[in-house]
Amino acid sequence: MRGPHNIWRLIRTGATFEKTGAMAVVLEQVDAPASLRVAARVLGWPFKWLGYSGDPKLPPVTRALTALGPSYIKLGQILSTRPDFVGSDLALQLRILQDKLPPFPTAEARKMVERDLEMPIDQLFSEFSEPVAAASIAQVHQARLVGDARKVAVKVLRPGIARAFARDIDAFYLAARLIELLSPSARRLRPMDVIAHFDATVQQELDLRTEAAAAGEFRANTTRDDGFSVPQIDWALSARNVMTLEWAEGIQMADIDGIDAAGHDRTELANRVMQMFLRHALRDGYFHADMHQGNLKVAPSGDIVALDFGIMGRLDEYTRRVYAEILMGFIRKDYRRVAEVHFEAGYVPADRDIDQFAQALRAVGEPIFGMDASRISMGRLLAYLFEVTERFGMETRTELILLQRTMVVVEGVARTLNPHMNIWQAAGPEVERYIRENLGPRALARDLAKTARVMARFGPQLPQAVEDALRGVDRSRHETPRGPALQPVLWMVGGGAIVGAVWAAISLL
């Protein structure tokens, strides 16, 4: 969909940002260079009359993005996960961006359900309500199943949303290219990668089968977590444009008065929100990356119920260990170890001074730990840490920024429940448990066992490899280089020896 419409869309975007006052805010927050400021003004000021006015009650940036439509609302939400790109203050503003739009007609939703599930809707649901929630990509209806009358939530994509997003994403790519062209310093932040990440995230959300799979995986991981639940997906009533899952009764996490009236312990809920997030991120490497109050409920039983699985985060095992060691280093005020972990992981270039880096980390941690417990902020710590690592040449790592952003949101939810919460006391037990189970002797034995299993798979190839190598050496007896021919054999023999040693070590543990 490349073409002149992208330029027109950028002009309309610039005009809207200019008309709402968002242009000046954005340029200031990202500390834009002169060339980028000039280009933004050229796209905005002369065409200001073409811009959308938006809701004057909203802050400028939120007002502009909301006026421009679903794609821009979703882009704003994604950019709120990238404080490295838009700045901490603007990221904070974008986090409160309201993902609420007027619902589309229920009659259209019913038609889409029938088309996707290939059955008349009356044969599927005995009741199908008006929309109970409407967002940028989809809306939700409450329904009852035919037969057992179970209450379910039916999520339906907005008609034509895929085409609308495809059109706008093309314009976003053009804007990212212009930013890289006009601001070489911005290339370190990889604007094209930011839009590619947005594109990939949206593509997942535009196929509700992907969200259903995410919910299923998350539910499987958390089934044994007391006090936390995930609704079950009804796969028979889910397809590309429709997702059906059990209805979650409960009080919205933002309804503090309702939580108090129901007799729930807010202090315990606050601790559990933080601990569950850390448990899922560290233990499973798969966490809910959009845990704001609107996506959390408190069930009558007191369980925390998670909803909306369009944005999920994933961490590989090594990154989880690094992250846990960094958190534990700060909890113990062992800044030298935090610095070593950054260097060992390759997050900071090896040519930088580790002692200076440790000193900079101390300057980050000590002021925060000197605060009253109710003011100790993990989000503030991670924001300061990002500033330090940027100064020492650490490259942007999207998965860690998503983790940071989610932790800040979770911290906000927890403090809403308990303003006097000590975040570090709540986080400590989960981090310590993970380190105890994954960085001690048992973890070493598990790692060695995994290595042994991988290497053992090559065992059947060893005899033939030896024979082929020896024949190669015999043929080339008068041509010196024996090393390369024997390297596979030596590797295999060495591997066999290691396998034996590993299993011997495991048997002694």
Residue % of the chain over a pLDDT of 90: 29
Task: Please tell me the predicted confidence (pLDDT) of residue 227.
Answer: 94
Strands 242-246 and 151-157: antiparallel
Burial state string for 241-253 with b = 16 or more CB within 10 A and e = fewer than 16: bbbbbbbbebbeb
Diameter of the chain by CA atoms?
A: 90
- DSSP at 187: G
Catalytic residue among 290, 308, 353, 474: 290
Dihedrals φ, ψ of 157, to 5°? -65, 150
Task: Please tell me the predicted confidence (pLDDT) of residue 96.
Answer: 65
Is-catalytic flag, 99?
no
Element containing residue 125 per DSSP (H, E): strand 125-134
Q: Would you call 146 helix, strand, or coil by DSSP?
A: coil
Dihedrals φ, ψ of 82, to 5°? -125, 65
Task: Please tell me the predicted confidence (pLDDT) of residue 210.
Answer: 93
Which CA distances in Å does 368 have to 309, 374, 386, 426, 484?
Answer: 33, 11, 15, 16, 56
Distance separating alpha carbons of residues 293 and 274, to the nearest angstrom: 13
Task: Please tell me the predicted confidence (pLDDT) of residue 185.
Answer: 62
Distance separating alpha carbons of residues 169 and 196, to the nearest angstrom: 9
Instruction: Give the other-Cβ count within 10 Å of 226's Cβ.
Output: 8
- DSSP at 231: P
Asked if residues 326 and 341 have their Cβ atoms less than 8 Å apart, the reply is: yes
Q: How many whole angstroms from its chain centre is CA 230?
A: 18
**Phi/psi-derived region of residue 149, left when phi > 0, alpha when psi is between -120 and 50, beta in every other case:** left
Q: What is the mean pLDDT of each run of 10 residues along the chain (509 residues)?
A: 65 81 73 70 68 81 83 78 66 66 90 94 94 88 91 94 84 81 67 79 86 96 95 95 95 92 94 93 92 90 93 88 83 88 85 90 76 61 69 69 78 86 80 79 69 71 74 54 49 46 42
Task: Please tell me the predicted confidence (pLDDT) of residue 263.
Answer: 94
Instruction: Give the other-Cβ count within 10 Å of 129's Cβ.
Output: 13
Question: Per-residue DSSP letters for 201-216?
Answer: HHHHHTSHHHHHHHHH
Q: Any idea what the Cα angle at residue 239 is, between residues 406 and 207, rounded to 5°? A: 40
Task: Please tell me the predicted confidence (pLDDT) of residue 151.
Answer: 95
Task: Please tell me the predicted confidence (pLDDT) of residue 119.
Answer: 93
Query: What is the value of pTM for the model shown?
Result: 0.74
Distance separating alpha carbons of residues 338 and 345, to the nearest angstrom: 11
Closest CA to 186 of 383, 405, 398, 396: 396
Write the CB contacts of 119 (distance below 8 Å, at least 6 apart in sequence). Answer: none
**What structural domains does the chain harbor?**
4-99 (no CATH), 100-166+178-247 (3.30.200.20), 249-439 (no CATH), 442-508 (no CATH)
Tokens read off for 172:
């976003």
Task: Please tell me the predicted confidence (pLDDT) of residue 500.
Answer: 45
